[in-house]
Amino acid sequence: MDNKRELIFNATEKIIATKGLQGLSMQKIADEAGVAAGTIYRYFKDKDELISELRKNVLRVVAQHILKDCRVGTLEQRFKRIWFNIVDFGRKRTQTNLSYEQYIHLPGIDLDPHQTFEKTTFDDLNIFFEQGKSEGLFHLQQNKVLFAISLEPAVALGRSIRRGQLKFNKAELEFACDLCWKSITSSTHSTHSTILTNKDLSGK
């Protein structure tokens, strides 16, 4: 990434994280980044475009973290890795977390261009859910539904830990992760797995 463009992004994130969107102006961004105000306009036509591009940059950072090694192992191993990656990312007090929670609610996030970008950026998640459904392991629901019931809890837990509302407890998190995994697996497969497990344990 261009160094000055990165400086502008970092400065914008810092201002949003500490002062909120209402404290954001191109001059303040320029001062924080240590560049001339005119330099910002070489990269972005206005503040709206800057925030829109910053959203995309943050999405890339988030995706890079939570989808790390998401194609390695069994579906269950992959799910639990993604789940804990989300908790780990969310519980850290970073500028990205603090600022993103504010500007995700701005107008434009629901428009097609942004939705398309988000879908592309997190395509590995869609691939993961589609594979689980094709193998008969996951419930045949929309991917957004599967995400909401299985991975959104990890987002909420990470945020609660970051805010000091919940203490980090590995055993409790593992229990919660297991519940989330079970929430998207079909009862047919679960029953089959139980039968196999009992049979293996009996040695018959």
Q: What would the mean pLDDT of 175-203 be, rounded to a whole number?
A: 63
pLDDT in tens, 8-18: 998 988 888 78
pLDDT value at position 41?
Answer: 93
Across the chain, mean pLDDT equals: 84
Average pLDDT over residues 115-132: 93
Q: Which residues contact 66 (CB under 8 A, 6 or more apart)?
A: 82, 85, 86, 89
Q: Which range, of 18-22, 84-88, 118-122, averages the lowest pLDDT?
A: 18-22
Residues 6+ away with beta carbon under 8 Å from 204: none
CB atoms within 10 A of CB 145: 12
pTM of the predicted model as reported, rounded to 2 decimal places: 0.79
Residues 58 and 96 sit within 8 Å (Cβ to Cβ): yes
Answer with the residue of higher pLDDT: 185 or 198: 185
Nearest to 68 by CA among 122, 13, 104, 116: 122
Give the per-residue pLDDT at 52: 84
List of domains in the chain: 45-198 (1.10.357.10)
